[in-house]
A = this chain, B = another copy of it.
Amino acid sequence: MTTASARDRILNTAFRLFYARGIRAVGVDLIISESGVAKATFYKHFPAKDELVLAYLDKVDGIWTGQLHEAAEAAGPEPADQLVGLFDALDTACRREGYRGCAFINAAAEAAPGTPVHARTVAHKQAVLAWLRDLAARASADDPDTLARTLALLLDGGLSDGALAADPEAAHAAKAAAKRLVSTSVPSAAA
């Protein structure tokens, strides 16, 4: 059953444990034993724990960004529709068993500002914002920048509240609000 490479097993285990318990709460020894790898192998692939954390955040970025794009594209070809449809990814995420909020916000809570880990979370949030801004611009919104920022607020608020409120309606409210904001922000106004 040792089909996956050692590096992949380490990263998959870290992905699961870091997200479920928090980064500081998970020791290197636990990751090593759960992934069935030798300590030397671990440190060969990830010379320091922080580098594994960075790889973990890259992995989360790929997955979450992919889900966001998929949900957006599933809403059709119109950028205005995609800006609303992407909130379906939030809904799906919140309903998932073991949902614990945004991995980036959580990581930033544990990392000191200025560290590579913290910088990585900022970069992620800015990438998402840039994507939203692009969609808003292509939707010909009156003020693409403000619309994008506002939708980012709803998205990040939903990611947090979905975990803390134990309220599956948070994602629903976020999508509904997005719909209202988008429909009143684009001239075509297909409410």
Seen from chain A, the residues whose Cβ lies within 8 Å of a Cβ on chain B are: 21-22, 24-25, 100-102, 104-113, 121-122, 125-126, 129, 146, 149-150, 152-161, 163-167, 169-170, 173-174, 176-177, 180-181, 184
Contact = CB atoms under 8 A, between A and B. Distances in A.
Contact of A125 (B108, B122, B161): B161
A158 B122 CA distance: 14
Contacts of A113: 100
A173 B166 CA distance: 26
A161 B125 CA distance: 8
A160 B157 contact: yes
A108 B108 CA distance: 12
A22 B161 contact: no
Contacts of A111: 22
Nearest to A110: B22
Contacts of A181: 177, 180-181
16 contacts: A24-B110, A25-B110, A101-B109, A105-B105, A108-B164, A122-B165, A129-B165, A146-B176, A149-B167, A152-B157, A153-B153, A153-B154, A153-B158, A153-B177, A157-B158, A180-B181
Contacts of A149: 167, 169-170, 173
B161 A152 contact: yes
A125 B164 contact: yes
B166 A150 contact: no
The listed residue with most B CB atoms (<10 A of its CB), out of A107, A159, A160, A181, is A160
Contacts of A104: 164
Contacts of A125: 161, 164-165
A109 B22 contact: yes
A113 B22 CA distance: 11
A14 to B, nearest CB: 16
